[in-house]
A and B are shown apart, each in its own frame.
Chain A
Amino acid sequence: MTEPSHFNEQERADLVAYLDGELTGEAARALEAKLSLDPAARAEADALRRTWELLDYLPRPQPSLRFTHRTLERLSPVRADEQQRQRLWRIRCLGLGWAAALLLAGWTGYAVYNWIVPREPGERQLLQDLRIIENKRLYDRIEDLDFWRALDAPDLFGEDASNS
């Protein structure tokens, strides 16, 4: 049977840290004082220390003689996999590059075409010119610009015009 502990959880954590050389300052001094005054606590600390030393009985397992060789052998598939991934990456980049080049060429062609070939009038333009378009048949009969300007004179038809 294990002896009941003389330490609470925090004290035992401090004790283990003390045995591991991880406890310093006031906490270490308090623990040292407890150990010097309490033989039961000292015995428990001793049991913890001895238990830890028992682990030294465990053999230090050694790797097999061909460990390095076998490990290096396993690199070949890793490298082949990496090269395959690099190839795929290059193909993907190339594909993306071509797609980008095609898009750029298309956009450039469209811009150049718009710059060279005048654009058809838009809807707003057509609405603005609607009255002229509707009366185009009449305007076509006008032979010179002066006559057309004369038509705009308000008193051209005088009184008769308003009466008829």
Chain B
Amino acid sequence: MSATGETSTQLALRDPDIRLMLRVRDDDRAAFEELVELYQHRLVAVMNHLVGNAEEAEDLAQEVFLRVYRSRKKYRPRSKFSTWLFTIANNLALNALRSRQRKPMVSLPAQDSGPLGPRPAEQLVRDRGSGPMRRLERQELTDLIRRALEGLNERQRMAVVLNKFEDMNYAEIAEVMGLTTKAIKSLLSRARENLRAALSSYVYMDGERVPEDSEE
């Protein structure tokens, strides 16, 4: 029985991906290929948002698929297939992020000039002060947002990515991350507040008027 009280058969009837996975369980290689085709975009995107590196994201996504394949014989549908898949992805990504913390990598983005010149954030503030905010290149903005996302702790980042890019509701995120719905609510609240603090200077940069009350 699943967490929602449904039997494996009921779940399989509702979720075509479960049926696909059951074929994988029976050593159907074509079904596995179909699963990879179906989920690679979502998985690589999620991994990329989490680890911030395209190559590493692909490696991790591949590892997720290989784990799916290795555990196919033990597969019993208890929830949506995507929930199971992202649970594996969550475990792998968190492990990767933790081991990266143990072996910190020095990454110097091209724009991070340090003593050689102003940093993008400083540049943005200067640009904003002088008015022509629209000259801000999209790439710079993307880098800033990515940095704000990377500034969140691992669990906050995972919850944000699943909520924002996978459209998962709190209950689904809770299942993937092995937490309660209440914990996810609190995690997302703190994450959103951290993002707001990190990006507050850029929220109203598209020429729209800042609401009067927030300027008080």
- Seen from chain A, the residues whose Cβ lies within 8 Å of a Cβ on chain B are 1-3, 5, 9, 12-13, 15-17, 20, 22, 39-40, 42-44, 46-48, 50-52, 54-55, 57-64, 67-68, 70-72, 74-75, 78
Cβ contact of B211, chosen from A13, A43, A57, A78, cutoff 8 A = A43
Whether A50 contacts B204 by the Cβ 8 Å rule is: yes
Closest to B70 in A: A78
Q: Which of B9-17, B76-84, B89-97, B139-147 contacts A (4 or more CB under 8 A)?
A: B139-147
Cβ contact within 8 Å between A75 and B44: no
Query: Does A54 contact B202, Cβ atoms closer than 8 Å?
Result: yes
Whether A60 contacts B45 in the complex (CB less than 8 A), given A55-B145, A71-B62, comes out as: yes
Q: B180-216: contact bitstring with A at CB < 8 Å (1 yes, 0 no)?
A: 0000011011001101110110111000000111101
Q: Return A15 CB to nearest CB of chain B, in Å.
A: 8
Closest 7 CB pairs of A and B: A43-B214, A13-B189, A61-B48, A43-B213, A39-B213, A63-B44, A43-B211
- Checking A12, A50, A63, A72 against B189 with a beta-carbon cut-off of 8 angstroms, the contacting residue is A12
Q: Does B179 contact A (CB under 8 A)?
A: no
Interface string of B42-67 (1 = CB under 8 A from A): 00110011000010011001100110
Q: Does B163 contact A (CB under 8 A)?
A: yes
B86 on the A face (CB < 8 A): no
Distance in angstroms from B77 CB to nearest chain A CB is 22
Interfacial chain A residues near B185, Cβ < 8 Å: 13, 16-17, 22
Q: Is the CB of B142 within 8 A of A16?
A: no
Which B residues lie at the A interface, using CB under 8 A? 29, 32-33, 36-37, 40-41, 44-45, 48-49, 54, 57-58, 61-62, 65-66, 69-70, 138, 141-142, 145-146, 149, 160, 163-165, 169-170, 185-186, 188-189, 192-193, 195-197, 199-200, 202-204, 211-214, 216
Given A72-B33, A75-B66: A55 touches B164 (CB 8 Å cut-off): yes
Residue of B nearest to A56 (CB): B164
Pairwise interchain contact A75-B213, C-beta atoms closer than 8 A: no
CA distance A44 to B185 in the complex (A): 18
- With A and B bound together, what is the CA distance between A43 and B214 in angstroms? 6
- Which residues from chain B contact A44 at a C-beta distance below 8 Å? 214
Apart from A40-B216, A48-B192, A62-B41: 6 A-B pairs, beta carbons within 8 A: A17-B188, A43-B212, A52-B164, A57-B142, A59-B142, A68-B33
Contacting pair A72 B170 (CB below 8 A)? no
The one of A5, A42, A57, A61 in contact with B145, judged by C-beta atoms closer than 8 angstroms, is A57
- Contact partners of B149 in chain A: CB under 8 A: 55, 58
- Candidate in A46, A50, A60, A71 with the most chain B CB atoms within 10 angstroms: A71
User: Using Cβ atoms and an 8 Å threshold, which residues of chain B touch A17?
Assistant: 170, 185, 188-189
Which residues from A are CB-within-8-Å of B145? 54-55, 57-58
Question: Using Cβ atoms and an 8 Å threshold, which residues of chain A touch B58?
Answer: 63-64, 67
Complex interface: chain A residues within 8 A of B170 (CB): 17, 20, 22
A9 to B185, CA, bound (A): 11
Kindly state the separation between the CA atoms of A44 and B192 in the bound complex, as whole angstroms.
12
B186 touches A47 (CB 8 A): no
Which residues of B sit under 8 angstroms from A15, Cβ to Cβ? 189
In the complex, A68 Cα to B33 Cα: how many Å? 7
Taking a contact as CB atoms under 8 Å apart, the answer to whether B66 and A74 are in contact is: yes
B57 touches A3 (CB 8 A): no
